[in-house]
Amino acid sequence: MQTLNIKIGGQAGQGLVSIGTILIRAATQEGWHLFAHQDYESRIRGGHNFIQIRLADRPVASWENDLDVLVALDEATITRELGEVKPGGVVIYDPDVLGQDAKTLVEKPNCIGLPFARIAEELGQPKIMANSVAAGAVWALLSEEIAVLHETLALMFAEKGEAIVQGNQSVASAGFARVRELTRERAVPAKPQGSEPRLVLRGNDALPLGALAAGVKFMSAYPMTPSTGVTEFISEHGRIARVIMEQAEDEIAAINMAIGASFAGVRAMTATSGGGFALMTEALSFAGSAEIPIVVIDAMRPGPSTGLPTRTEQGDLRCAVAMSFGDFPRAVLAPGDVEEAFYLMAHAFNLAEEYQMPVVVLSDQHLADSYVTVPPFDLSRIEIKRGRVVSCAEAGPDYLRYRCTDDGISPRLYPGFGDGLVVTAGDEHGEDGHLIEDAETRRRMMEKRMAKQRLVEENALDPVLCGADEPELMLIGFGSTKGAVAEAVEILNSQGCRAQGVHLPQVFPLPKSLAALLQKPARKFIVEANYSGQLEDLIASRFAWKPDGSIRRYDGRPMNAKFILDRLPGGVCHGS
């Protein structure tokens, strides 16, 4: 596989995201597959941020450590990241922002100084176009032609007028020309073959896209990193699909608005992160008792408390599974990549409405903010199941909202339709929805609700497998570890170790089919991004099973194949 790793580092406000966006869009148009992740501090200006782009001639779903190209917009990028550059890699830096000590670090071959802002000004353009100078400089290491980059700039700046487009193109050409002149002996990578159409999306794009495809009609949310991108996407694009988006005053209002919309008969959702999810738990318990469908996206970040609000972790699993006080049916899904995020949203809404219960979709900052190229989504795979809904003709005066049935699923009537009366309460209630206090009704209603949980478990999504069919080593994970596990498994198999990856797109209730995998005669390791081993504990409590070892990351940074492989014990394969 041909692969190329580019890191652009600088301070918040310097435009490194703009450079990354230009390169991501141009590289995709050129035919590259890519995976790009962002690392940013919780501040508007200053600090040290970066975006890292991995280009490849076939699909990739994780990031690599070693760099082929480092672009330094500030001094910290040189002092912190210079050691990550491969021998023969290229460093492009702005000499105007480096102190003398940092300048001595780049006094070596393959380090190219380009005063990005000065180049823009020399061409009569504003300093802000320094980003396009840097993008042109990087493009010179990827291609002998600049046409695709120019096309990308034209598309990105079209709304700002022809003068802005031409200005960006001219400064990009200057950066491109200077680097091409200095690296004329350096061969550019072979252009990828094939021109299949691809989307380039983040998890925070795929999740709301999946919701729109599934027929969501109402969303309410309070902004909270890293889930805010979901809210922004629905705000920007939902109007086309006639979706109402309400920014609530807090997370408690957001979840209650969404529950109210769902009670009225439309598909509704909210999105938040750990602290906001904690505020929603009382309302989720109400939705469980009142059997009102609701979908909640929890984009995880490191806790406890505010923690690291712009970093990544998988520390909310235990909270999402518990979800709230009391026993009621629930499900927790955990997409591992952009494509899975899109399709699982439809499944989440179907689960919520078929079983009339809350469903949590776990994302995290790494999935939310990372870009990846994927084939166009197949909308024919989206099947909308509204569950057991009563028609107006069927809803007579004897309608019982919580009628006891063999499977626990009561026929659902939207309020205001038909002759039936829909009565709902948060207190324990009888079949008619009115409050009760007697023990026998309480017992029957609890058993009725929990009968649905057994159905959810029987129909739980099976694990997604990769690698060897009869493994000697098994790596088990959930959520955004999927790509890292898959790549680690691929590397291990290429080295002669029969390895298998097990990804769990549904983490509660766990699928019964996982039991057979756990009985395979392989050494098994749980891979997860939290300190306490929450997935490991969940599997242990369900199957009375413990792994041979665990690989955990909890420093706020994303998992990748190297992190996993470095922590596997020696001699783990070939029966040793």
Per-residue pLDDT at 468: 96
Q: What is the layout of strands, in order, in the sheet containing 218-221? A: 244-247, 218-221, 268-272, 294-300, 358-364, 331-333, 506-508
Query: Is there a contact between 36 and 24 (Cβ–Cβ < 8 Å)?
Result: yes
- Our CA angle for 298, 324, 264, nearest 5°, is 75
**377/199 Cα distance (integer angstroms):** 9
Q: Token digits for 420?
A: 């039936």
Q: Residue 74 gets which letter from DSSP?
A: S
pLDDT, averaged in runs of 10, over the chain (576 residues):
93 89 96 95 87 96 96 94 94 93 89 95 95 97 96 95 96 96 90 85 98 98 97 94 96 98 97 97 97 98 96 98 94 98 98 98 98 96 95 84 96 89 93 96 97 97 97 98 98 97 98 97 97 98 96 97 96 68
- Our CA angle for 378, 380, 381, nearest 5°, is 75
**C-alpha gyration radius of the chain:** 26
Q: Does a cis peptide bond (omega within 30 degrees of 0) precede residue 558?
A: no
Per-residue pLDDT at 96: 93
- The dihedral through the CA atoms of 515, 356, 267, 235 has a sign that is negative
Q: Token digits for 33?
A: 């597959």
Domains, the chain, with CATH or none:
3-182 (3.40.920.10), 200-381 (3.40.50.970), 388-459 (no CATH), 464-566 (3.40.50.920)
Torsion of CA 154, 40, 57, 178, to 10 degrees: 50
Per-residue pLDDT at 570: 86
pTM of the model: 0.96
Q: Please provide residue 362's backbone torsions phi and psi, each rounded to the nearest 5 degrees.
A: -90, 120
**102/97 Cα distance (integer angstroms):** 9
Q: For residue 489, which of 411, 415, 574, 561 has the smallest C-alpha distance?
A: 561
- What SS3 class is residue 435? strand
